[in-house]
Protein backbone atom coordinates (compact mmCIF):
# COMPACT_ATOMS: atom_id res chain seq x y z
CA UNK A 1 0.00 0.00 0.00
CA UNK A 2 1.60 3.30 -1.04
CA UNK A 3 2.24 5.82 1.70
CA UNK A 4 -0.61 8.30 2.05
CA UNK A 5 -3.22 6.18 0.26
CA UNK A 6 -5.10 5.18 3.41
CA UNK A 7 -5.32 8.66 5.01
CA UNK A 8 -6.54 9.90 1.64
CA UNK A 9 -9.19 7.18 1.52
CA UNK A 10 -10.36 7.97 5.08
CA UNK A 11 -10.50 11.69 4.32
CA UNK A 12 -12.57 11.00 1.20
CA UNK A 13 -14.97 8.75 3.13
CA UNK A 14 -15.41 11.26 5.94
CA UNK A 15 -16.44 13.92 3.41
CA UNK A 16 -19.23 11.64 2.17
CA UNK A 17 -20.51 10.43 5.54
CA UNK A 18 -22.79 12.15 8.04
CA UNK A 19 -21.30 13.33 11.37
CA UNK A 20 -20.80 10.57 13.93
CA UNK A 21 -19.28 10.03 17.38
CA UNK A 22 -17.66 6.68 16.71
CA UNK A 23 -15.70 5.42 13.72
CA UNK A 24 -14.89 1.87 12.65
CA UNK A 25 -11.99 1.16 10.31
CA UNK A 26 -12.27 -2.42 9.11
CA UNK A 27 -9.77 -3.44 6.47
CA UNK A 28 -10.72 -7.14 6.00
CA UNK A 29 -7.51 -8.04 7.76
CA UNK A 30 -5.48 -6.55 10.56
CA UNK A 31 -5.02 -2.83 11.04
CA UNK A 32 -1.65 -3.54 12.69
CA UNK A 33 -0.42 -5.64 9.77
CA UNK A 34 2.35 -3.41 8.42
CA UNK A 35 1.80 -4.86 4.93
CA UNK A 36 -1.80 -3.61 5.04
CA UNK A 37 -1.40 -0.24 6.80
CA UNK A 38 2.05 1.41 6.65
CA UNK A 39 3.00 2.54 10.17
CA UNK A 40 4.33 5.78 8.68
CA UNK A 41 0.69 6.59 7.90
CA UNK A 42 -0.35 6.31 11.56
CA UNK A 43 0.15 10.02 12.41
CA UNK A 44 -1.99 11.16 9.46
CA UNK A 45 -4.64 8.53 10.21
CA UNK A 46 -4.71 9.44 13.90
CA UNK A 47 -5.12 13.14 13.09
CA UNK A 48 -8.22 12.31 11.02
CA UNK A 49 -9.66 10.13 13.79
CA UNK A 50 -9.06 12.33 16.81
CA UNK A 51 -12.35 14.28 16.44
CA UNK A 52 -14.22 11.03 17.18
CA UNK A 53 -14.97 9.79 20.71
CA UNK A 54 -14.06 6.22 19.86
CA UNK A 55 -12.03 4.53 17.15
CA UNK A 56 -12.52 0.83 16.40
CA UNK A 57 -10.04 -1.14 14.32
CA UNK A 58 -9.76 -4.89 13.74
CA UNK A 59 -6.72 -7.04 14.27
CA UNK A 60 -5.54 -10.61 14.52
CA UNK A 61 -4.57 -11.34 18.16
CA UNK A 62 -0.98 -12.14 17.12
CA UNK A 63 -0.53 -8.54 15.94
CA UNK A 64 -1.39 -6.88 19.26
CA UNK A 65 2.06 -5.52 20.03
CA UNK A 66 4.29 -2.51 19.53
CA UNK A 67 2.44 -1.14 16.48
CA UNK A 68 -0.81 -1.17 18.42
CA UNK A 69 0.74 0.82 21.27
CA UNK A 70 2.36 3.22 18.85
CA UNK A 71 -0.98 3.90 17.18
CA UNK A 72 -2.75 4.24 20.54
CA UNK A 73 -0.17 6.80 21.67
CA UNK A 74 -0.97 8.95 18.63
CA UNK A 75 -4.68 8.98 19.45
CA UNK A 76 -6.28 11.38 21.88
CA UNK A 77 -9.49 9.35 21.75
CA UNK A 78 -10.54 5.88 23.04
CA UNK A 79 -9.14 3.02 20.97
CA UNK A 80 -11.12 -0.22 20.69
CA UNK A 81 -9.71 -3.29 18.94
CA UNK A 82 -11.99 -5.93 17.43
CA UNK A 83 -10.61 -9.46 17.35
CA UNK A 84 -12.17 -12.59 15.86
CA UNK A 85 -12.49 -15.33 18.46
CA UNK A 86 -14.87 -17.25 16.14
CA UNK A 87 -15.50 -20.11 18.60
CA UNK A 88 -14.08 -21.78 21.69
CA UNK A 89 -14.94 -25.22 20.26
CA UNK A 90 -11.38 -26.62 20.25
CA UNK A 91 -11.59 -28.73 17.12
CA UNK A 92 -13.55 -26.18 15.11
CA UNK A 93 -11.20 -23.36 16.09
CA UNK A 94 -8.20 -25.36 14.94
CA UNK A 95 -9.84 -26.40 11.69
CA UNK A 96 -10.89 -22.83 10.91
CA UNK A 97 -7.15 -22.23 10.53
CA UNK A 98 -7.13 -18.81 12.21
CA UNK A 99 -3.68 -19.59 13.60
CA UNK A 100 -4.68 -18.63 17.12
CA UNK A 101 -5.23 -20.64 20.28
CA UNK A 102 -7.51 -19.62 23.13
CA UNK A 103 -4.41 -18.97 25.26
CA UNK A 104 -3.00 -16.61 22.60
CA UNK A 105 -6.35 -14.86 22.30
CA UNK A 106 -6.58 -14.37 26.07
CA UNK A 107 -2.99 -13.09 26.21
CA UNK A 108 -3.71 -10.54 23.46
CA UNK A 109 -6.85 -9.44 25.32
CA UNK A 110 -4.77 -8.99 28.46
CA UNK A 111 -2.24 -6.84 26.61
CA UNK A 112 -5.10 -4.61 25.41
CA UNK A 113 -6.57 -4.34 28.89
CA UNK A 114 -3.20 -3.40 30.41
CA UNK A 115 -3.02 -0.52 27.93
CA UNK A 116 -6.61 0.64 28.57
CA UNK A 117 -7.60 -0.35 25.03
CA UNK A 118 -11.15 -1.67 24.77
CA UNK A 119 -11.92 -5.06 23.24
CA UNK A 120 -14.69 -6.09 20.87
CA UNK A 121 -14.97 -9.78 19.99
CA UNK A 122 -16.47 -11.50 16.95
CA UNK A 123 -18.11 -14.87 17.60
CA UNK A 124 -19.50 -17.18 14.90
CA UNK A 125 -22.82 -18.85 15.65
CA UNK A 126 -22.70 -22.42 14.30
CA UNK A 127 -19.32 -22.35 12.59
CA UNK A 128 -18.16 -25.28 10.46
CA UNK A 129 -17.48 -28.49 12.39
CA UNK A 130 -20.09 -27.60 15.03
CA UNK A 131 -23.35 -29.48 14.56
CA UNK A 132 -26.66 -27.67 14.80
CA UNK A 133 -27.81 -29.18 18.10
CA UNK A 134 -24.56 -28.08 19.78
CA UNK A 135 -24.41 -24.65 18.16
CA UNK A 136 -26.20 -22.76 20.93
CA UNK A 137 -24.01 -24.36 23.59
CA UNK A 138 -20.80 -23.33 21.83
CA UNK A 139 -22.07 -19.83 21.14
CA UNK A 140 -22.79 -19.49 24.87
CA UNK A 141 -19.36 -20.82 25.88
CA UNK A 142 -17.73 -18.47 23.35
CA UNK A 143 -19.65 -15.50 24.80
CA UNK A 144 -18.54 -16.54 28.31
CA UNK A 145 -14.91 -16.74 27.16
CA UNK A 146 -15.09 -13.36 25.41
CA UNK A 147 -16.43 -11.68 28.55
CA UNK A 148 -13.85 -13.52 30.68
CA UNK A 149 -11.33 -11.76 28.42
CA UNK A 150 -12.96 -8.45 29.43
CA UNK A 151 -14.68 -7.78 26.13
CA UNK A 152 -16.71 -4.57 26.16
CA UNK A 153 -18.80 -5.81 23.26
CA UNK A 154 -19.38 -9.09 21.46
CA UNK A 155 -20.78 -9.28 17.94
CA UNK A 156 -22.51 -12.56 17.09
CA UNK A 157 -22.30 -13.49 13.43
CA UNK A 158 -24.52 -16.21 11.96
CA UNK A 159 -22.03 -18.22 9.92
CA UNK A 160 -22.79 -17.67 6.25
CA UNK A 161 -22.40 -19.78 3.21
CA UNK A 162 -21.66 -17.95 0.00
CA UNK A 163 -17.90 -17.70 0.06
CA UNK A 164 -15.92 -20.45 -1.63
CA UNK A 165 -14.49 -22.06 1.50
CA UNK A 166 -17.84 -22.29 3.30
CA UNK A 167 -19.58 -23.62 0.20
CA UNK A 168 -17.03 -26.42 -0.10
CA UNK A 169 -17.42 -27.29 3.59
CA UNK A 170 -21.20 -27.26 3.17
CA UNK A 171 -20.97 -29.67 0.21
CA UNK A 172 -18.70 -31.91 2.29
CA UNK A 173 -21.29 -31.96 5.08
CA UNK A 174 -19.04 -30.12 7.55
CA UNK A 175 -21.12 -26.94 7.68
CA UNK A 176 -24.75 -25.89 7.77
CA UNK A 177 -25.77 -22.29 8.49
CA UNK A 178 -27.61 -21.76 11.80
CA UNK A 179 -31.36 -21.34 11.85
CA UNK A 180 -32.79 -18.04 13.06
CA UNK A 181 -33.94 -19.55 16.36
CA UNK A 182 -30.43 -20.69 17.30
CA UNK A 183 -29.15 -17.23 16.45
CA UNK A 184 -31.88 -15.52 18.52
CA UNK A 185 -31.23 -17.72 21.57
CA UNK A 186 -27.48 -17.02 21.30
CA UNK A 187 -28.06 -13.26 21.24
CA UNK A 188 -30.52 -13.47 24.15
CA UNK A 189 -28.04 -15.48 26.23
CA UNK A 190 -25.33 -12.88 25.67
CA UNK A 191 -27.61 -9.98 26.58
CA UNK A 192 -28.93 -11.77 29.67
CA UNK A 193 -25.42 -12.14 31.13
CA UNK A 194 -25.21 -8.36 31.65
CA UNK A 195 -21.45 -8.52 31.15
CA UNK A 196 -21.16 -6.19 28.17
CA UNK A 197 -22.97 -5.17 25.02
CA UNK A 198 -23.99 -7.90 22.59
CA UNK A 199 -24.80 -7.27 18.95
CA UNK A 200 -26.49 -9.42 16.34
CA UNK A 201 -24.81 -9.07 12.95
CA UNK A 202 -27.83 -8.71 10.68
CA UNK A 203 -26.03 -8.54 7.34
CA UNK A 204 -27.91 -10.86 4.94
CA UNK A 205 -29.94 -12.16 7.89
CA UNK A 206 -32.77 -12.84 5.40
CA UNK A 207 -30.81 -15.90 4.28
CA UNK A 208 -31.54 -17.64 7.59
CA UNK A 209 -34.84 -15.90 8.37
CA UNK A 210 -36.82 -18.28 6.21
CA UNK A 211 -40.40 -18.11 7.54
CA UNK A 212 -42.20 -15.52 5.46
CA UNK A 213 -44.86 -15.13 8.15
CA UNK A 214 -42.59 -14.01 10.96
CA UNK A 215 -39.19 -13.08 9.53
CA UNK A 216 -39.88 -9.33 9.31
CA UNK A 217 -40.98 -9.14 12.95
CA UNK A 218 -38.11 -11.29 14.16
CA UNK A 219 -35.47 -9.28 12.29
CA UNK A 220 -37.01 -6.08 13.68
CA UNK A 221 -36.81 -7.60 17.16
CA UNK A 222 -33.08 -8.31 16.72
CA UNK A 223 -32.55 -4.73 15.50
CA UNK A 224 -34.36 -3.54 18.61
CA UNK A 225 -32.09 -5.69 20.80
CA UNK A 226 -29.03 -4.20 19.09
CA UNK A 227 -30.19 -0.67 19.81
CA UNK A 228 -31.55 -1.12 23.34
CA UNK A 229 -29.69 -4.14 24.78
CA UNK A 230 -33.05 -5.26 26.15
CA UNK A 231 -34.75 -8.56 25.28
CA UNK A 232 -38.35 -8.05 24.07
CA UNK A 233 -40.92 -10.89 24.16
CA UNK A 234 -40.34 -13.67 21.61
CA UNK A 235 -42.25 -13.30 18.32
CA UNK A 236 -44.84 -16.05 18.16
CA UNK A 237 -45.70 -17.61 14.82
CA UNK A 238 -48.38 -20.20 14.22
CA UNK A 239 -46.76 -21.28 10.96
CA UNK A 240 -43.22 -22.19 12.07
CA UNK A 241 -43.81 -22.14 15.84
CA UNK A 242 -40.73 -19.94 16.06
CA UNK A 243 -38.54 -22.80 14.91
CA UNK A 244 -37.67 -21.49 11.44
ZN1 LIG B 1 -42.74 -18.21 11.38
- Tell me the CA–centroid distance for residue 133 and ligand 1, in Å: 20
The pLDDT tens digits for 80-131 are 999 999 999 999 999 988 889 999 999 999 999 999 999 999 999 999 999 9
pLDDT at 148: 98
CB 62 within 8 A of CB 108: yes
- Does the pTM surpass 0.75? The reply is yes
CB 209 within 8 A of CB 193: no
- Tell me the CA–centroid distance for residue 240 and ligand 1, in Å: 4
Contact partners, residue 139, CB within 8 Å, separation at least 6:
87, 123, 125, 126, 156, 182, 186, 189
Q: Given pLDDT bands bounded at 50, 70 and 90, which one contains residue 242?
A: confident
CA 178 from centroid of its chain's CA atoms: 17
- Tell me the CA–centroid distance for residue 225 and ligand 1, in Å: 19
Helix/strand/coil for 120: strand
Amino acid sequence: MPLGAIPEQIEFALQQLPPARHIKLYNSGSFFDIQAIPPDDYPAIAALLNPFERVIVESHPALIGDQCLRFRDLLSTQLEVAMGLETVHPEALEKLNKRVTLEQFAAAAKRLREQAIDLRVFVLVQPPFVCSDEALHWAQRSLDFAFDCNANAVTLIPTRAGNGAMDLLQQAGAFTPPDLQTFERSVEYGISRWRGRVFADLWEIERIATCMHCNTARIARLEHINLTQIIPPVVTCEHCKGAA
